Each structure stands twice: as structure tokens, then as C-alpha cells.
Amino acid sequence: TQLLEQSPQFLSIQEGENLTVYCNSSSVFSSLQWYRQEPGEGPVLLVTVVTGGEVKKLKRLTFQFGDARKDSSLHITAAQPGDTGLYLCAGLNNAGNMLTFGGGTRLMVKP
Amino acid sequence: DAGITQSPRHKVTETGTPVTLRCHQTENHRYMYWYRQDPGHGLRLIHYSYGVKDTDKGEVSDGYSVSRSKTEDFLLTLESATSSQTSVYFCAIRKAGNTIYFGEGSWLTVV
């Protein structure tokens, strides 16, 4: 069983601050996906990273896939209250048939 | 729009009754998944399908069965619902680039 450790579990910050969420594993993944989930809704895909060392940017969000494809990070610059939500990382195994989720990071950005 | 429809969206049922949740996709993707999401456990894979009549177990398959008689439909059945199966159930599909998209969820309460 592949495991993904996501940290921190909870994060409460002020508007304008920067933050980083980490997703770590001892397993290699073929790709890693980041989702954001609002209460009462399904996870919404933010980005997929596939290549070791890959960096993708989505406005103020920067996603990085580790060189060995075992870990990933999400960095948010100048957080806004609209960034509040549950952030989930998920790794797809090499066979491509199973997506394993981290435990999630619940982010609150206060105005 | 991920092209996924889950039904019912909300259901309350009694212990011991059978329950079937339906996932319908509009784009003929091969892989479909059923997850459940619970506080403290995150998203866990119940079953997945890699084609018509081709299914396999996930991490938490006990008490659940699935069927896929058509490409577009993936059914999750609780043969005899228990209170521990009270949860939010998400269907997902795998699209090009090994990217996985989720439906909006089905809230099931077993009383």
C-alpha cells in the first residue's frame, strides 16, 4: 500500500502571508495531483505534475514534484480569503489504476 | 464540468437495507472509481473499474460490490447497509494524461 503524508493538517494564516503544504511518501508515483475541496462538493483538480522536478504555476499557486517523484509541495503566495479550503494531494501508482490520497490540509485565510 | 453525474445526491436508509449508488459519465472513459470520504480518514478507494465487466477491489471494499455493464455507468451497491457505511461517496473518472476528476458526491446516512 502506498502512503502519502500531507502536512500540515491545519493552517490558519492572515491575508497576504505565504504558505507551503507538503506531501511526502516513500513510494514513487507516476504522477501527483493536487485538489481543492469546498464543503459539500467534490474535490476539484488544480494541477497534475508528471515529471520529476517539474514546477507548475497557477496564478499565486506554485506546485513542485520532487526529483524522485516521491514528494510534492504546494506554495501559495500572498494568500487570499478565497484560498480557504481543503487541499488534497494524491499520487497515481505506476500501473495507473489507483490514486492514493494524503490526509488533506485545511487552510483558513483570515482577512 | 467533469462530465460525471452521481445519483442520488442524498439518501437516508435503514440498517440492513440494500442501497445502490449510480455514477454516470458522458465521455466513455475506461477507468472509473468509487471513493468514500470520512473525517480523519480522508478519501479511500472502495472499488475501481478498468472496463465493462472489469472491476477490482480497493482499500476498503468489504461490504461493497460494484458492477459495470456499460461503459458510461458504474454502480456501487451496499448489500446490507450498516451505520459504519454512513459517509460521502465520490465517483471519479480517469481522463487523458492520467488525470482524475471527481463527481459532486453522494451523501449517505444509514440509521
How far apart CA B67 and CA B52 sit, in angstroms, is 9
Whether chain B has a CB inside 8 Å of the CB on A66: the answer is no
Instruction: Please say if the pLDDT value at position A102 is more than 70.
Output: yes
The pLDDT of residue A95 is: 84
Bridge-based pairing state of the strands A44-49 and A31-37: antiparallel
* Cβ proximity of B108 and B13 under 8 Å: yes
Whether residue B15 is predicted with pLDDT greater than 90 in this model: the reply is: yes
User: Quick one: cell of B83?
Assistant: 451505520
pLDDT in tens, A36-85: 999 889 999 999 999 999 999 999 999 999 999 999 999 999 999 999 99
Model confidence pLDDT, tens digit, residues B28-77: 999 999 999 998 778 999 999 999 999 999 999 999 999 999 999 999 99
Q: How remote is the C-alpha of A41 from its chain's centroid? A: 17
**Closest Cβ opposite residue B105 in set A31, A42, A92:** A42
Q: How is residue B58 written as a grid cell?
A: 480497493
Q: What is the model's pLDDT at position B40?
A: 77
Distance CA B83, CA A106 (A): 26
Mean per-residue pLDDT over chain B, rounded: 94
Q: Are B90 and A43 inside 8 Å of each other by CB? A: yes
Best residue of B43, B54, B60, B89 to probe chain A, by most A CBs closer than 10 Å: B43
Q: Among A1, A42, A98, whose Cβ lies nearest the Cβ of B90?
A: A42
Any A CB within 8 A of B57 CB = no
pLDDT-based confidence at A2, cuts 50/70/90? Answer: low
Are A96 and B44 in contact (CB < 8 Å)? Answer: no
Q: Is the bond preceding B18 in cis, omega lying within 30 degrees of 0?
A: no
pLDDT for the residue numbered A1: 61
B42 part of contact set with chain A, CB < 8 Å: yes
pLDDT of residue A109: 97
Q: So what's the pLDDT on residue B63?
A: 96
Among A32, A48, A88, A99, pick the best mutation site for testing chain B contact (most B Cβ within 10 A). Answer: A99
Provide the mean pLDDT of chain A.
94
In the prediction, which pLDDT does A98 show? 86
Look at residue A55 in the predicted model and tell me its pLDDT.
97
B69 burial type by CB count under 10 A (0-12 exposed, 13-18 middle, 19+ buried): exposed
